[in-house]
Structure 1
């Protein structure tokens, strides 16, 4: 009902393991309860089960605690004391079991560990680990520590020497029956009325003075969907229920509910009938429910691993590593082998690209790099460097800043690389026009105009912070953080950017087709076509790796880095390495044919823009055109006699016969083509 925003109820009782899960739906009690009351409940275990991220989600109405049950009759019969350490428990229980077997009592269980197929198994496991901490004030040992490993080894030792699988798996009802009929020497169980047959004391530790008691119970929380008047009234009810007087009634009642308020156990009247010292000596530990959003998944997975260890062949080390991995969040460090190798490759490629620009800036190599001027070369190669820098932000702990900057590397790198190509193709449009002339004169301004879109959208990214970090839960694997959009509205941003890039990409592809036979950029146009094909593939790969939830941290990181490296490396190879190869091997020189034309003064390009031509024919005319007249060789300066006919250079190896016929049938009847 809390999640459904219902206002029918003011107060709820909430299991303490759900403090985090429902924290967003309840009132912060700091705002409505007296500070004096809050201070009383902010000490000890209450602080672990009541707060989440500084918010007072609820306060414990009552708690359940676990204790050690020691068989009074058997201990008195054999003159044994209550054990304070696990080794003492093992020794005492082994002795009594042997003596009772000699008398024919084979139904006795030495220790009932309380590891059923339910939540109690987590509590029993945590208690063992907590009882193996170094000092009373030490926190619960890390699951990967020697303390935790030794604790788990002790659990299995006690099960194998003092109990059985069935006895360890006993659920609460069966446990109560065992205790009621005195069938156990020692048992871990919740504080219940059956203790008249048993001593109830804190659980043992690995050394004297250490103990553990896992806490259960319920918090009282206030509905956030009610009005202020109801909240204030509800606060009065909470204040009443948590008062020392009411808490004392809970504790001494037959229902055996225990208050977390320590002042209750200082009351002499209560302590006449209640073992106040027991409660005051309990060293309580809470389940780690605040670490996870989905506690049910955590609990079930934790128990599965414990069962594989206790009743299977798993080792303590492997089991605890799996338990640790349930909540652990991993990242690949910069100093790891993968991190160092990736950084080295990326830095090497960037170094090569920078060195290439130095060569391009040298006039000696102008023959090889005529595609752009120096400014556009710088911007294009800078785009490749920024694009490959995407990999720098895949290592270490993922943050919102890294999420944004990764996308910026992709967007800005793509823009800086493709805008110069678009400017280049506009300039060399196969027909004289004012737009190409303007771009030729103001190419850098046009580039800045295109870039203004990226400047605005990238600025919005850092202002809006559209990303959030999601912890990818990997069953039997390593959890890791990845970036997701925090709201569906932000998908619109990516759609807008994607449409703009698609427009730029499509424009380049269309112009590439129209300028296919342009003489002056003949080799560059073909290289651009290679770039188009390669970037279609890399774009698809990038979209796939960003949308598919990869459940392996190494694959998640490495695949993205590889895609970024491929993007920059392939584009660099085409515009630099391949261009050098073409020039040095004369690969851009094609067989040419001379064609006679009856009209001595006309050039095909002058008629390409005729309004009488169909759109299709006009496009095909552009496609087969050698380029705008301003970029064609000046034929008037050739040594031709007055009777010689001007020559038109065509690349006949790419013109199909049927298309030559089509061209000649439409507004070109005055032309006659003969091969010479």
Structure 2
């Protein structure tokens, strides 16, 4: 696009004031808005903008990852220039790869400082299509004051959690808090339920829906047992409304003091410790429970990456913004102010980071070895695989059929999808 004379003068003046001959440009970035996410992102891009002289505009996108992916696919398929830098989920690189810039020539080797598994995840057909920004794994939040009050330790199995939640919920209601629930989590039919349900199933040794070789494994007794366990929570230790909860609805109940346990991502820690939080200093964080004594702890690998659209008018400037936001200092700031898990390994030994978010150290293995969703073996079909999975799980939780028949039907559907 040609600049008119006035615009040229403004750009030249800006360049002279900045002491550089590079013309100022405007780039756009999509940031999430879960919890403090948007504010923390805005602070980061403003710091980069001040440093470089380039303007950054934030683009609003849906909080639901399922809806956001759909929006991205529409924008990229149209080769639109509306968004230069996209915040993408850890399971999307394979789906969006052909529309994304190869960042390898823009990183100066910085990717070597990040978790190798994430760099590998973001490398498709030899192209580094996204840089890790923050990682995630599901964790269990609990009211340490309430557990201490009634003589309990943090649960290590789902059965223990169920028993403790039932008991504490009943006693707290008898004491006057009729709004108290035992356990809140993400039950809406969306990608968040895929994460929660994968944790249940994997913890009971029920597999990962589809194995790394592309074989559909979901139809097994352990997976059915996991879903039956979760179904038993509805209306007992979890409100019926949990079937429409995303991360923020669950956090709202827990942070208001009305739940004993909560499954969520690490971002909720900083919010629970805010000065205006009713549960400040009353919260503990541990790995999610095992499926029985013979099961295993499982936290679904989450996290977000930053990618540059191939259709950006300013790809080099957009890539520089990505390099800044995913760098050491910015990731450290985000870890301290927002409890966003760094993807740079060295930050897990940084004392300022560990002081702000102590469980980063104790749960390092959980974050480094999260359970991956089957996005790699399913490639660009993952969106449909996840959609089929969370809809089937939601049906079971809602009482529409039993787990065995639902998983048998899901198995047939997934086999058709990945064929």
TM-score (norm 2): 0.67
**340, 344, 354: which is aligned to 1:257?**
340
Is the 8 Å Cα contact of residues 140 and 287 (structure 2) preserved in structure 1? yes
Could you tell me which residue of structure 2 aligns to residue 201 of structure 1? 286
Could you tell me which residue of structure 2 aligns to residue 629 of structure 1? none
**26, 33, 43: which is aligned to 2:100?**
26
Q: Give the whole-Å Cα distance in 1 for the aligned partners of 2:361 and 2:346.
A: 12
**17, 26, 38: which is aligned to 2:111?**
38
Q: Give the whole-Å Cα distance in 1 for the aligned partners of 2:181 and 2:292.
A: 24
Is the 8 Å Cα contact of residues 220 and 238 (structure 1) preserved in structure 2? yes
Q: 1:149 to 1:117 in 2, by over 3 A?
A: closer
Counting matched residue pairs gives 324
Quick check: 1:288 aligned with 2:374? yes
Is the 8 Å Cα contact of residues 112 and 168 (structure 1) preserved in structure 2? no
Could you tell me which residue of structure 2 aligns to residue 243 of structure 1? 327
Q: 1:12 to 1:188 in 2, by over 3 A?
A: closer
Could you tell me which residue of structure 1 aligns to residue 217 of structure 2? 142
Per-residue deviation at 1:225?
4.5
Per-residue deviation at 1:248?
0.9
Per-residue deviation at 1:23?
0.5
Could you tell me which residue of structure 2 aligns to residue 151 of structure 1? 226
Is the 8 Å Cα contact of residues 13 and 219 (structure 1) preserved in structure 2? yes
Quick check: 1:307 aligned with 2:406? no
Q: 1:42 to 1:176 in 2, by over 3 A?
A: closer
Is the 8 Å Cα contact of residues 189 and 244 (structure 2) preserved in structure 1? yes
Q: Give the whole-Å Cα distance in 2 for the aligned partners of 1:91 and 1:8.
A: 51
- Secondary structure in 2 matching 1:14: strand
Per-residue deviation at 1:142?
3.2
Could you tell me which residue of structure 1 aligns to residue 66 of structure 2? none
**137, 147, 150: which is aligned to 1:75?**
147
Q: Give the whole-Å Cα distance in 1 for the aligned partners of 2:405 and 2:125.
A: 32
CA deviation string 1:168-194 (max 9, x = no partner): 433444323311222111121233112
CA deviation string 1:184-240 (max 9, x = no partner): 11121233112534212221112568322234443212333469xx65565544333
Q: Give the whole-Å Cα distance in 2 for the aligned partners of 1:248 and 1:39.
A: 17
Q: Give the whole-Å Cα distance in 2 for the aligned partners of 1:277 and 1:212.
A: 17
Is the 8 Å Cα contact of residues 69 and 198 (structure 1) preserved in structure 2? yes
Per-residue deviation at 1:251?
1.1
Q: Give the whole-Å Cα distance in 2 for the aligned partners of 1:44 and 1:279.
A: 17
Per-residue deviation at 1:67?
1.8
Quick check: 1:61 aligned with 2:133? yes
Quick check: 1:86 aligned with 2:151? no
CA deviation string 1:129-180 (max 9, x = no partner): 2222399xxx799312333222222212333642342244334443233112
Quick check: 1:189 aligned with 2:274? no
- Secondary structure in 2 matching 1:22: helix
Could you tell me which residue of structure 2 aligns to residue 457 of structure 1? none
- Secondary structure in 2 matching 1:293: helix
Is the 8 Å Cα contact of residues 206 and 223 (structure 2) preserved in structure 1? no
- Secondary structure in 1 matching 2:306: strand
Is the 8 Å Cα contact of residues 68 and 186 (structure 1) preserved in structure 2? yes
Is the 8 Å Cα contact of residues 202 and 278 (structure 1) preserved in structure 2? no
- Secondary structure in 2 matching 1:158: coil
Is the 8 Å Cα contact of residues 26 and 57 (structure 1) preserved in structure 2? yes
Residues 470-481 of structure 1 mapped to structure 2, 5 A cutoff: 473=417, 480=419
Give the number of the structure with larger relative contact order, counting CA–CA contacts within 8 Å between residues 6 or more apart: 2
Is the 8 Å Cα contact of residues 113 and 188 (structure 1) preserved in structure 2? yes
CA deviation string 1:252-291 (max 9, x = no partner): 12x4432222221111222122222244142523433442
Is the 8 Å Cα contact of residues 109 and 183 (structure 1) preserved in structure 2? yes
Residues 658-673 of structure 1 mapped to structure 2, 5 A cutoff: none
Q: Give the whole-Å Cα distance in 2 for the aligned partners of 1:311 and 1:10.
A: 40
Quick check: 1:218 aligned with 2:290? no
Per-residue deviation at 1:92?
1.8
TM-score (norm 1): 0.43
CA deviation string 1:101-147 (max 9, x = no partner): 55465432122232124332111111112222399xxx799312333
Could you tell me which residue of structure 1 aligns to residue 408 of structure 2? 321
Is the 8 Å Cα contact of residues 59 and 219 (structure 1) preserved in structure 2? yes
Is the 8 Å Cα contact of residues 114 and 187 (structure 1) preserved in structure 2? no
- Secondary structure in 1 matching 2:392: helix
CA deviation string 1:559-613 (max 9, x = no partner): xxxxxxxxxxxxxxxxxxxxxxxxxxxxxxxxxxxxxxxxxxxxxxxxxxxxxxx
- Secondary structure in 2 matching 1:68: strand
Name stretches of at least 5 consecutive residues in structure 1 with no aligned partner: 330-472, 474-478, 481-676
Q: Give the whole-Å Cα distance in 1 for the aligned partners of 2:394 and 2:400.
A: 10
Per-residue deviation at 1:47?
3.4
Is the 8 Å Cα contact of residues 132 and 206 (structure 1) preserved in structure 2? yes
Per-residue deviation at 1:54?
4.5
Q: Give the whole-Å Cα distance in 2 for the aligned partners of 1:28 and 1:152.
A: 40
- Secondary structure in 2 matching 1:70: strand
- Secondary structure in 2 matching 1:144: coil
- Secondary structure in 2 matching 1:163: coil
Is the 8 Å Cα contact of residues 130 and 305 (structure 2) preserved in structure 1? yes
